[in-house]
Amino acid sequence: MKIGMIGLGVMGKPMARNLAKAGYEVYGSDMNQKNLDAVAKDNVKASTNIEIEENCDVIITMLPNSPQVKQVVMAEDGLLDHAKEGTILIDMSSIAPLASREVHDACAKKGIRMLEAPVSGGEPKAVNGTLSIMCGGEEALFNEMSPILHCMGSDVVLCGASGAGNTTKLANQIIVAANIAAVAEGFMLAKKAGVDPNKVFAAIKGGLAGSTVMNAKGPMMLSNNTEPGFRIDLHIKDLNNALETGHAVGSPLPLTAEVMEMLQMLHADGMGAYDHSALAKYYEKLTGTNLYDDSCPGGNKE
């Protein structure tokens, strides 16, 4: 089976590698030649969008947001103009649910089956193939694509019809963002009160406050490590989609709006490429106090 991956960024590269490692014939396309070069040694063959669309049985898109997905799929000379009937599109980008339904319906008119499958877990889980994958689409197609998805993720769940996968991803991003903010706020309280936040982390991580988010992002805050596993700017994109969806369906999102403003402030301060654990720097700015030990070099090196 020939699989094409359109989008070889931070997440797309390791996902393509894992598919090739599983024995699939994988073709990759990206606007950045460096990304193509990076996966060449892993048996991911450099290609173009059109070559992938014309020759691959399954096409995976891993793109920044709704406009990019719609451009690749629906624009003139895009996927719908080149892919043969019966081609399967798996959109693993995190986009607005209504946009995903629009793309799904456009594909259906051309005889192209589509499954949405946004992911969570960031680069580390993309590398080791343990992403959480939240799917929306037809059950039969989900079952057919399950072996491919399990090459990239350990938790692969069909959440409902088209739009359900991206709705689930938005809920995930709300919970992650609020959790990161709460961890930073709690750690800063400890620091300002004269208690070592490293000790606080060690004391509470096994209790009810403990979480995957705390375990992954707490040490980054405490070591001033802002290297991106998931960039602030990408989380802003997701929360913007969440707020728009919440407004559309009548679901208030006051916590989401608050964290969004915190992220926007960090973006305005030039930290958009930092990992979202850099929400801690919002509290550092408010208090004038570094959460991390001043001897930690850390920082974003991009």
Q: Give the integer Cα–Cα distance in Å for 279 and 263.
A: 7
CB atoms within 10 A of CB 262: 20
Q: Give the integer Cα–Cα distance in Å for 109 and 103.
A: 10
Q: Give the integer Cα–Cα distance in Å for 242 and 44.
A: 34
User: What is the per-residue burial (b if ≥16 Cβ within 10 Å, else e) of 93-113?
Assistant: bbbbbbbbbbbbebbeeeebb
| Active-site residue flag, 169 | yes
- Considering the candidates 70, 125, 169, 237, report the single residue annotated as catalytic: 169
Q: Give the integer Cα–Cα distance in Å for 284 and 281.
A: 5
Helix (H) or strand (E) holding 75: none
Residue 135 CA neighbour count, 13 Å, CB half? 23
- As given in the structure block, the two tokens for residue 39 are 């996966």
* 192-199 long-range contacts, CB within 8 A, separation 24+: 192/287, 192/289, 197/221, 197/222, 197/291, 198/222
- Please report the beta strands in 52-204, taking only residues with DSSP state E, as ranges in sequence order: 58-61, 88-91, 113-116, 119-120, 131-136, 153-160
CB atoms within 10 A of CB 71: 13
Active-site residues: which are they? Answer: 169
